Chains A and B, each alone.
Chain A
Amino acid sequence: MASDLWRPEATLSTLRLRAELLAQIRAFFVARGVLEVETPILSAAAIPDPHLASFSTRYAGPGPLDGRALYLHTSPEFAMKRLLAAGSGCIYQIARVFRLGEAGRRHNPEFTLLEWYRVGFDHHQLMAEVAELVNQLLTDRLPLTQEVEWSRYRALFQHYLQINPQQAGIAELAACATAHGVSIPPGMPTDDADPWLDLLLTHCIEPQLGQGRLTFVYDYPASQAALARLRPDDPAVGERFELYLNGIELANGFHELGDATEQRRRFERENTVRQELDLPVMPLDERLLAALESGLPDCAGVALGFDRLVMLAAGADSLSAVLAFPLDRA
């Protein structure tokens, strides 16, 4: 048994499929004049999102960073935004990214993200482009209706669970979970609705999304805007979107927040939450904030899980089936 762990887990035909999809993606962006870029995996700063854990390492060697902690990026977002602010125009990257603690049937702590930014696009225009690319990549590989489904986050909860996610209190969210047969995890917060919404989304809604067609969810609650700009609707929403296919989350995108002050405020709030949760406080990316200060062009960006795309294209049921060497063989 153990002696077989030197072998790749993915079949050679799956590895050829990976290569074909990568080539098709590059052709798609070349045809549109989107520039391929590469940015560092290691950074002296890290994302403070309390739900993301960064691998860290210590640099030893010449230069002022000697002895300093460096973090493996969880996405190339910050560096790519610095390129955008420097006038790169539309860019894409196929990057290996790293997330501590994420392992399972659809997670590997090291995975491949396709991330791209379109200058002058809002999240609706970018969603249309994502749909075009994914439909093009998957059409001949699995049963897929070209017609795309769109749903606001709020409408999604109203449709599947008959609740308003931006108004429901904790008691109502808990009752909704119980009514749908979801056991309430111990230690759920009593003052923060977002983990409850995440519970309902992952358990009751996500498995039903995007059956045989692309489903985009957009306009998230302001508290879940992440790096998206807010639109002052009533209540305000984050101009963020997610793409689902066959119950699997494939991509997350933003109409990008360009306001340096607001970005710093969000980072600091996330670090405060980290402190409350006894998680390490992350060094803020001052170079990203300086880039935003100097001016990020109006743009939308998206990160798409390439391995999950391959998994769908290959008709596989787990991420490890499309990785040459998943974590346990790495």
Chain B
Amino acid sequence: MILTVARNRLMNLRHDRAAFVLSFVVPIVFFSIFAAIFGGAGRSTTRKITVAVVDEDQSDNSRRFVEALRAEGGLAVVTAPEIKSGKAAPFTAATAEAAVRAGDFPAALVIPKGFGAIPIRFGPEGQHPRLTLLSDPSDPVAPHVLGGLVQKVAMTAMPESMARGGMDEIDRWSGGLTPQQRARMEEVLAQIRQQRSIPSSAGSRASGGNSGSGLVDVDQRAVLGQKKKNPMIAFYAAGIGVMFLLFSAAGAGGALIEEAESGTLDRILSTRVSMTKLLAGKLVYLAWLAATQLVVMFVWGSMVFGLEMRGHWGGFLIMTVATALAASTFGLLLAAVSRSRMQLVALSNLSILAMSAVGGSMFPRFLMPEVMQKIGLVTINAWAIDGFQKVFWREEPISHLAPQVAVLIGVAILLFAAARRVARRWEAT
């Protein structure tokens, strides 16, 4: 009897081909997405961190230092903003800070004037120029990686400076080196210089682990969000909010399938209501529902988790409307494409979870490999989360939301047009 029950379910599954296929496709798709995000498609477990580097010193040592940073496999060093016709003027401390603030880089490093002369500190005292590490606290990983690599590179890229610094300290605290000792040290320094001239980056490429020994003095400064009580809350509110918006829009859009199955849709379309008006009406409802969900979620976030709504309402409402429209039309299209509730559930699970994973609802996009970050841009989630981050985290003016709003509204128009086209199958046959 038990086997009969099992066989009956199997027979049912075989007759719903879409569900049958999706039950195998969904796990494979998700496995692949998460493998790509966390496993770098099998190549590396560490993403490349893009940093802006400002060399105010322009000495041999500072240049060598920047080159060594550039040779680090975990870093992508950018010294000047990219423009269409090539590269613009190199970053300054101010432009680099603005770039971090705008979210172009998770961190920037400023090498001050005089760094090349005394780059390394051995003793507890001394007048050592200090590097400045500017960071965006929404990325908790990048500043730490950069800080560690700065210390590592200081050891590997400037051995001569390190040795001379050590010799000076010994000279100072041991009561003076003998002439023979000094001559021998100069000989060793010359050898180090000679070795440096042989191009080899093998050593610098090897991972050195955490080298925060403090050879180079680094001041770390968060360029935004210093006053925020809970810096990641806006990200999670947006990320989770958009994902559930998509789910609820798809679910509510399923009413269309129920109407088709019950004959209500036929009845409606026999009256003055056309298919376009019907879909537009559904869109108004879905968008209202989605916008209300987002408002409730953010207000809850402000009451319980200290999300600051004050001063952000304008941008928030604009992003809410744009996101609600995009999510609603997506739900409408899914419902129009699906032939049954079962298909709708399978299809929405697959597409929404995939979009949410790639688009940053489950895991911040800026922590993903670069390729995955770019792929994420095909999702509604990514544009919505970026927009809400601009409002709540970067506190950018409303005009800066233009790209996100334009994309979301554009997506909404395209999806609605697609849903209308697919819905032709319900018109008079």
**A, B bound:** no
Binding site for B on A (CB under 8 A): none
Interface residues of B (CB under 8 A from A): none
